[in-house]
Amino acid sequence: MDVSSASVLAAALAIGLAAIGPGIGQGNASGSAVEGIARQPEAEGKIRGTLLLTLAFMESLTIYGLVIALVLLFANPFV
């Protein structure tokens, strides 16, 4: 296993593992938001704003993994 193939594997692992947790979290958040809108349709605007903001935070966790993967692929310090 030379360095470049190891980096490709590591990149795949990074983005794959980084997608699991935020995926679950975003699913939970969206589900709760839908429930909240179903209970109180008039609160939809507020719920939507909060949901988008929190979804962006969770999304950024995956993006961190993506950044690591991209660094490994395109700007690898070890290759």
| Spatial contact of 68 and 14, defined as CB atoms under 8 Å apart | yes
Q: How far is the CB of 7 from another protein (least distance, A)?
A: 7
Q: CB 24 → another protein: shortest distance, Å?
A: 15
Q: For residues 13 and 63, which CB has a smaller minimum distance to another protein in the complex?
A: 63
Cβ proximity to another protein, 29 vs 37, nearer residue: 29
Look up residue 42 and give its amino acid: E
Q: Using CB under 8 A, list all residues that contact another protein.
A: 4, 7-8, 52-53, 56-61, 63-64, 66-67, 70, 73-76, 79
Sign of CA dihedral 11, 16, 22, 23: positive
What H or E segment, with its residue span, contains residue 3? helix 3-39
